[in-house]
Amino acid sequence: MDWERLRIPLMLGPTLLVITVLFFGSLAFGLVQSLGFQPQIGNTTLTLDAYISVMFTGREAGQFWSGLLLTLWVAGASTFLSAALAVGLALLLRRTFFGKKLSVFLFQLNLPIPHLVIAIGMLLLFSQSGLLARFAGELGLISGPRDFPILTRDRYGIGIILAYVWKETAFFGIIVMAILQSLGDDYEAVAQSLGANRWQRFRTVTLPLIMPGLMSASIIVFAFTFGSFEVPRILGVQHPQMLPVLTLDFFLNPDLNARAEGMASSIIIALIVLALVFLYMYVSARTIRRD
């Protein structure tokens, strides 16, 4: 027996075992539950009833589709806006100026702050009874709370998007700043010396060079915002609800039969995110092959 060949698999074994049991185990458990397998209440046959109920026939079927649209919109918009904002800020922060260290510190300040705190902060700041509304009232800009625009608990998820942008811009920023630092200024200097103006340099040099890192970060942020429930629970409305909140409601339902629908909803969220990740990996692999 060639033990040398087995050495690395054996060393990786314990870690792989933990990952397999925790990840694939819980995924498999969730999957069978979504197929109605709940022996504790006597359901042992596997059916697609929960999926059909969640998407088509159940009381919440309408909520599911509007929730899916809202979730895609919120995750997409938050990811795009955070990425765009982070790129702009990172490019500004790359320059040398008085107070740069303080600016970088403030830019990254909210990284360790939990999403929950950010969501509550949003409420305190931007709701119709929040600080900004009161300030506007004190200045005489509005006559009462109702005159202040609805920025939280709105049906378009504006408050949720703002909270995610607030939080994720710092995450994107760290990645973009690290990429920009490793690239240096030389590529842009070459382009500038060859006649490219500021916008041409950004479009033809900076953006293509940071794009691989930016796309990877976008997948992480999109997957997170697509599956996260704390912020939409606090800043969202009852209808439409984002999918993770709808899923949470299924789980919190005292009727144990709703558990299968909750699991079905979770699996759908996971499948959508996985599909997008695979799509990204396929596109990146093609780009890498081409480059």
Partner 1 sequence: MTHLAIRGLSKVYAAQAAPAVDDLDLDIESGSLTALLGPSGCGKTTTMKMIAGLLKPTTGDILFDERSILSIPPERRGAVMVFQNHLLFPYMSIAQNVGYGLKMRRMERAEIDRQVAEMLELVRLPGMEDRRPKELSGGQQQRVALARALVVRPKILLLDEPLSNLDAHLRFEMRDLIRDIQQQMGITTVFVTHDQEEAVVLADKIALIFDGRLQQYDKPLAFYEQPSSRRIAAFFGGVNFFTGTQDGDGFTSTIGRFSVTRDGPADGGILTIRPEDVRLSEDGETNTVSGTIDSQVYVGTHARLRVTVDDHTVNVVADADVMKRYGQGDRITLQFPENKLWILPAE
Residues lying near partner 1 in the complex (CB under 8 A) are found at: 96, 186-187, 189-197, 200, 204-205, 208-209, 291
C-alpha to C-alpha distance for 273 and 220, rounded to whole angstroms: 10
C-alpha to C-alpha distance for 132 and 150, rounded to whole angstroms: 12
Q: Least distance to partner 1 from the beta carbon of 290, Å?
A: 8
Q: Which residue has the tokens 């990840």?
A: 23
Q: Least distance to partner 1 from the beta carbon of 101, Å?
A: 14
Q: Least distance to partner 1 from the beta carbon of 142, Å?
A: 46
CB atoms within 10 A of CB 21: 10
Closest CB to partner 1 among 57 and 193?
A: 193
C-alpha to C-alpha distance for 271 and 276, rounded to whole angstroms: 9
Closest CB to partner 1 among 88 and 212?
A: 212
Q: Least distance to partner 1 from the beta carbon of 209, Å?
A: 8
C-alpha to C-alpha distance for 89 and 104, rounded to whole angstroms: 9
Closest CB to partner 1 among 3 and 97?
A: 97
Phi and psi (nearest 5°) for 43? -90, 115
Q: Coil, strand, or helix at residue 31?
A: helix
Q: Coil, strand, or helix at residue 43?
A: strand
How many whole angstroms from its chain centre is CA 168? 8
Closest CB to partner 1 among 205 and 272?
A: 205
Closest CB to partner 1 among 27 and 283?
A: 283
Q: Least distance to partner 1 from the beta carbon of 91, Å?
A: 17
Tokens of 250: 């299924």
Please, what is the Cα angle at 82 between 233 and 95, to 5 degrees?
A: 145
Q: Least distance to partner 1 from the beta carbon of 291, Å?
A: 5
Closest CB to partner 1 among 91 and 191?
A: 191
